[in-house]
């Protein structure tokens, strides 16, 4: 696991005006759904309005970058996308190519639209690793995704502020 978050969830920046989409792979729903549910809970706690939050199920992790691109294209008001999936290591190297293509695809989408895609598509060696990252605790990748999106949107707002005020870190 990645370790401890740099901030406690109660110290995450509120993002009440944010428009967020969550895209989630349909594979390994017990774990992906746990990450999505925790992300939604944390976003609502940070004052994201329910009507500004969309959740979409996508066939698999390889399709997530396509879905992200379509969402930014069709919903230009979106501020960010959180993406969730579980890729289980198998007997072949398919899992490696899936992860590599997902990361590359998200990179292309971020460059094209100038908006963040928070990648929580996790590669795991076994199901217990996925369970640890989707449990109802601070190791849940949904919490990590919300930390990242709250920080990056705060950063964006600090450098695009029209009043000339730069926020310190």
Contact 2, 133 (CB under 8 A): no
The b-or-e profile of 96-127 (16+ CB within 10 A means b, else e) is eebbeebeebbeebbeebebbbbbbbbbbeee
Q: What does the longest C-alpha to C-alpha distance in the chain come to?
A: 56
Rounded to whole angstroms, the Cα distance separating 66 from 3 reads 30
CA angle 138, 145, 9 (to 5 degrees): 45
Which pairing describes strands 80-88 and 117-124: parallel, antiparallel, or unpaired? parallel
Is 94 tagged catalytic? yes
135: β partners: none
Catalytic residue selected from 13, 28, 94, 104: 94
Angle at 90 between CA 87 and CA 94, to 5 degrees: 70
As annotated, the active-site residues are: 94
């Amino acid at each position: 696991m990645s370790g401890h978050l740099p901030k406690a969830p109660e110290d995450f920046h509120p993002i009440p005006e944010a428009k967020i989409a969550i895209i989630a792979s349909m594979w390994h729903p017990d774990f992906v759904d746990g990450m999505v549910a925790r992300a939604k809970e944390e976003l609502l706690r940070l004052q994201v309005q329910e009507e500004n939050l969309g959740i979409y199920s996508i066939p698999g992790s390889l399709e997530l970058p396509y879905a992200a691109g379509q969402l930014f294209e069709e919903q230009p008001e979106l501020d960010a996308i959180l993406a969730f999936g579980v890729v289980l290591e198998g007997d072949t190297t398919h899992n490696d190519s899936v992860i590599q293509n997902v990361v590359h695809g998200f990179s292309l989408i971020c460059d094209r639209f100038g908006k963040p895609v928070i990648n929580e598509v996790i590669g795991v060696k076994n199901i217990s690793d996925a369970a640890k990252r989707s449990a109802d605790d601070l190791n849940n990748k949904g919490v990590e995704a919300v930390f990242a999106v709250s920080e990056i949107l705060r950063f964006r707002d600090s450098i695009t502020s029209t009043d000339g005020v730069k926020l310190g870190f």
